[in-house]
Chain A
Amino acid sequence: MTAQTAPARQQIAVSRWHRYRPDQQWEAYLFLLPSFIGFLIFVAIPVVASLALSFYDWNLLSPPEFVGFENYSQLLTKDRVFRKVLFNTFYFIVTIVPLQLGFGLLLAVALNQGLRGLEIYRLIYFMPVVTTIVAAALVFQWFFNRDFGILAAAIWEFGATTGLPIQPPDWLNDPDWAKPAVVILTLWKNSGFTMVIYLAALQGVPAELYDAAKVDGASGWQRFRFVTFPMVSPTTFFLMVIQMIGAFQLFSEAFVMTQGGPAQATLTIVYYIYQMAFEFQRMGRGAAVAWVLFIFIFIFTLVQTRLQRRWVHYETGGES
């Protein structure tokens, strides 16, 4: 080994002449081997296999039969349930993502005022994030119960005391209300996560910006709109992308709390993959649904990345 002085100079040397050194070549492969074997067997090959599988009809018992694009064309043109599944998934995305970000930002701004008890509030708001979703969904199923649930009782009581004609909906048995129930569960479960990420972003906003805005006579709302919001916009973008991917992959909430019902009102894309493959033993069709999921996620992420230029504010230059 030759002695190297400055890391910067070494970097240049590495990139120009010492791309690899024969003495490290085999050693490096040895280090990579455990990870690479796993990567190959459980990620890379399955990706290819899954794509191939999506062109077959296979129930694991009889030999697989090549059907070309039929799995996809059935899904996109004939399958009424899949149309519902797509609608449900988009419903969840357009409700969950903005609400999650809104709640998270609101809570983070509130907690960033130098209040006492920040630790306790954070402890409580973040608590659902670490819970097992199966248990949480089970609790919410009981929480939403129309006859003996505490939420319904509160709504009944509210109606009775105010004299307003308010009745609790039959959350989990009414197709119109089952979706909002799933949305409420995910908001409860995940708002603490967006809150904590926003909180970290807010703590990076320089106080001088607020002082300057105040000197210029900006109101509270204006300081939020023209200082806070642009300063945390990279975080908003990041959270938007990952929350959207998360909403695309909604499964456990619906599986446990509503079993996809009533009348398929909460059947999601991932739930449909599960049904196809593991309830109806249609491996090829299930794989095709999974690829449709991937394509949607890919396109949505791409579109958001394109659109971010219009509204995401990145600090440039050496000042930040």
Chain B
Amino acid sequence: MTATTPATIRPENTPGATFKTGRLALHAALILGSVAMLLPFAWMLATSLKSPPQIFTYPPSLVPDPVVWRNYLDTVQAMPFGRFYLNSLFVAVSVTALQILTSSLAAFAFARLRFRGREVLFLVYLATLMIPFHVTMIPNFILIRFLRWFDTFYALIVPTAFSVFAVFLLRQYFRGIPVELDEAARMDGASSFRIWGQVIMPLSGPVLAALTIFVFLGSWNDFLWPLVVSNSNATRTIPVGLATFRGQYNTDWHLLMAGSVIALLPVLLVYVFAQKRFVEGITLSGMGGR
């Protein structure tokens, strides 16, 4: 891979034979890298379809022979992955919807309404962006226990239904929407609530789409907080369920890999079909809307 470094820097449209070999070398390097990226997935899939004797033979093979589909049946019978799915879906959808609702209302106030203490309050919001979640995790855990919310969906959803980051991101975007539009609506007698719902929100499609993907994926993949507050299969989400499964079936790699495939497949499928949206959502949100 290192041999191609000069080629990678060559700008396009350099004519001649060196150009062609450079391109070929570049493709070769990128394909090699792609294989490295895909190998863990292939290894997971292959192992999930092997029988235990096949797993513990040397040399290992990427082709299971015979293909043991039963592993998947054994996996879902050993652990209620269906339930984990529903839990994850319920939590992620609720968190995404609530976060966008609460944050867009607040962002609208910060971007469009005038009120005493606006700048100060926004600064206070911004200041907490710097504080990592881990600082507030322990008091939140104690609060959840105090409220008797431990091991309930409330614990998984309510504390993450608010986001300073989302307020910040949406406010940035709302400020870019021409003020004349809501002034006109106001003159026509629209209330602030209607302006939020019928002017600002419909005009914020791109940022809302990006934020939805970002928040949903973050919630779906979140591990530490659900690990701390859920304690039974009734509330475990996919990541926590998978970690629990690992704790119980430590060396049954065929089952563990089948569980991993079950955990990853839906997200990967959606990703493959909506790649552009995913990349946009994660980069736009990841860069704070720049």
Contact = CB atoms under 8 A, between A and B. Distances in A.
Nearest to B221: A132
Nearest to B1: A106
B135 A148 contact: no
Interface in A210-238: 210, 214, 220-221, 223-224, 228, 238
B287 A34 contact: no
Contact of B223 (A53, A252, A286): A252
Interface string A43-57: 111110110010000
Contact of A32 (B101, B105, B159, B256): B105
Interface residues of A, number: 109
B237 to A, nearest CB: 10
B72 interface: no
Given A148-B58, A150-B39, A129 B136 contact: no
Contact of A157 (B59, B196, B264): B59
Given A35-B103, A43-B128, A193-B282, A110 B29 contact: yes
B268 interface: yes
Contact of B279 (A10, A45, A126): A126
A240 interface: no
Contact of A47 (B11, B136, B180, B242): B136
Given A121-B30, A238-B287, A18 B105 contact: no
B205 interface: no
A124 B283 contact: no
A298 interface: yes
A32 B109 contact: yes
Interface in B140-184: 140-143, 145, 158-159, 161-162, 164, 167, 178-180, 183
A143 B43 contact: yes
A248 to B, nearest CB: 8
A132 B221 CA distance: 5
A130 B217 contact: yes
B134 A293 contact: yes
Contacts of B143: 41-42, 46
Interface string A27-47: 111011011101101111111
Nearest to A2: B183
Nearest to B240: A134
Nearest to B253: A142
Contacts of A293: 132, 134-135
A115 B224 contact: no
The dominant DSSP class at the B interface is helix
Interface centre among B110, B162, B238, B246 (most CB of A within 10 A): B162
B33 A139 contact: no
A142 B256 contact: yes
B114 A42 contact: no
Given A28-B113, A113-B10, A124 B136 contact: no
A75 interface: no
A67 B242 CA distance: 39
B206 interface: no
B5 to A, nearest CB: 8
B234 interface: no
Interface of A: 1, 3-4, 7, 10, 14, 18-21, 24-25, 27-29, 31-32, 34-36, 38-39, 41-47, 49-50, 53, 60, 106-107, 109-111, 113-115, 117, 119, 121-136, 138-140, 142-143, 147-150, 153, 156-157, 188, 192-193, 196-197, 200, 207, 210, 214, 220-221, 223-224, 228, 238, 242, 245, 248-249, 251-252, 255-256, 270, 273-274, 277-278, 283, 286-287, 290-291, 293-294, 297-298, 301
20 contacts: A19-B118, A21-B114, A28-B118, A42-B158, A47-B135, A53-B138, A113-B23, A121-B34, A130-B267, A138-B260, A139-B44, A142-B253, A142-B256, A148-B55, A220-B6, A273-B137, A283-B142, A287-B139, A297-B132, A298-B130
Given A31-B192, A39-B125, A132-B242, 8 more contacts: A19-B114, A31-B108, A32-B109, A34-B105, A43-B136, A135-B260, A150-B39, A251-B223
Name the 3 nearest CB pairs between A and B, nearest first. Answer: A38-B162, A35-B106, A28-B115
